[in-house]
Structure 1
Amino acid sequence: MNDIMARKTGAWALLLAGFTGAASGVFLAFVPPAVADDRFSFPLSASGFTAIQSFFFLHHLAIAWGLMVVWRSGFAGRGVPALIGGIGSVVSMVLLAVQELVAISVAHAAYPSPATDIVDSIYGVLSLLNGAALIVLGIAVVRARQWVGWRRYIPLILGVYVIVPLTPAIFGPFVVARLTIGVWMLIFAALGFALARTDAIPANARMERL
């Protein structure tokens, strides 16, 4: 895949995932509950939960692709931090995608319960790993100075956001958690916009073969 096509697909993946992810956060925050809040699938029925989790699986894969394009396009440079942050952010996002499907297995479960505690714990570990990897990738982007202005700080903001405010919000009210995730998704959309802007392409960056 050539440089221009990779950047376009990565940008569109991040833009679409960002905006649809934000919309899904608003939807989950305000949709009339179909089940009581002592069900893991809340606020959706088990079938509705299965449908949206399947969407989240594809959604996370789209973000993973966009992150790989950002990394492999050279915006983070070619050093060890770029390698660690790039691989870490992509792999952790793919694992989060898989976890969205795993969560379907406890759609009918009472919440909280031993089974849902395990699912939540895995979500927590993977989310923190993703945040840490994004911070490393973000630092690499800042140091590489291939992007200018606000674009240069978007990956770092994405990682820091996972630590604060996203992680504390997850332990708060359901609506606050969903809306906080929605804002995170909009930052991914901003990353897609940065990737799409032709004036943000470094002259010396060359996409490695994907």
Structure 2
Amino acid sequence: MNTSTVESTNRAALAFIVGAAGTALSGVIVQLAVQPASDVPDDRWSYPWSADAFVAVTAVYALWHVLIAIGLVGFGRSGAAGASFSGRWGVRLAVVGTLILTAAELASIPIRDAALDDTAAGAVGTMFGLGTLVSAAGLLLAGAGTLAAGVWRGWRRYTPIVAGAWTTALLGLALTKALAGGVGVYGLLLLAMAVALHTRPRAAADPAAPRAATARG
């Protein structure tokens, strides 16, 4: 990996860190502070935010998703997920899933006053579900590719697959008041992955490879 590629990966990793940290912090704040103090009916799409606040908050959420997608692209280019089918397609699916979540956030703004059982709310909810499912599948596949590639070692190598497992679990929290906290954990796990990328931006040769080659020779 040349110097310009490493620099590009580092920039993507920094975007990843900001997006993941923002997601984690947002989830914690909503779960612990906003929800308990909210007087917005919980059958409103904008809950726990007022309709006016929801617009600004949702725009910020969309920004977090975009930054995470940039980070995931950088992760793919770093070579950490390897060149296997699962590694390559896992990263692509994770990016696509995150972009679907971005679109779902933006689609939420026009329906912010809708009831949860409205048809439009159901359609946007389906978008969120699809984005989460595709992201989870992508992270799990990329995680499997990362484990097989052996480029990352120690705690780093587990970060994609753990993030994928938790993203899958988020599907079960979708209709509960624990969703914001679950999203906070999702952000923390992506933050670990982002830090791993920032501190190991280039694919390094397996140190065991030269010894193995010598033994075969």
State the TM-score, normalizing by the size of structure 1. 0.89
User: Which of 1 and 2 has higher RCO (CA within 8 Å, sep 6+)?
Assistant: 1
Q: Which of residues 143, 147, 171 in structure 1 aligns to 2:152?
A: 147
Q: Tell me the amino acid that sits aligned with residue 95 of structure 2.
A: V
1:22-33 → structure 2 map (5 Å cutoff): 22-29=24-31, 30-31=33-34, 32-33=37-38
- Tell me how far 1:96 sits from its aligned partner: 1.2
Identity %: 30
Q: Secondary structure at the match of 2:46?
A: coil
Q: Secondary structure at the match of 2:81?
A: coil
1:163-174 → structure 2 map (5 Å cutoff): 163-164=168-169, 166-172=170-176, 174=177
1:162-201 → structure 2 map (5 Å cutoff): 162-164=167-169, 166-172=170-176, 174=177, 176-198=178-200, 201=202
Q: Larger radius of gyration, structure 1 or 2?
A: 2
Task: Give 2:70's aligned residue.
Answer: 65
Q: Which of residues 56, 67, 77 in structure 1 aligns to 2:61?
A: 56
Q: Tell me the amino acid that sits aligned with residue 175 of structure 2.
A: F
- Tell me how far 1:182 sits from its aligned partner: 0.1
CA RMSD of aligned residues (A): 1.8
Task: Give 1:208's aligned residue.
Answer: none
Tell me, yes or no, if the aligned pair for 1:141 and 1:152 is still in contact at 8 Å: yes
Q: Partners in 2 of 1:120 and 1:195 — Cα distance? A: 31
Q: CA offsets, 1:110-161, max 9 Å, x none? A: 2232221111112112211110111111100110000001100111111111
Q: Partners in 2 of 1:204 and 1:148 — Cα distance? A: 12
Q: Which of residues 15, 18, 41 in structure 2 aligns to 1:16?
A: 18
Task: Give 2:125's aligned residue.
Answer: 120
Q: Partners in 2 of 1:33 and 1:160 — Cα distance? A: 31
Note the residue ranges of structure 1 that are not aligned, 5 or more in a row. 206-210
Note the residue ranges of structure 2 that are not aligned, 5 or more in a row. 207-217
Q: CA offsets, 1:2-37, max 9 Å, x none? A: 222222212211211122111111222221215222
Task: Give 2:204's aligned residue.
Answer: 203
Tell me, yes or no, if the aligned pair for 2:97 and 2:130 is still in contact at 8 Å: no
Report the number of matched residues: 201
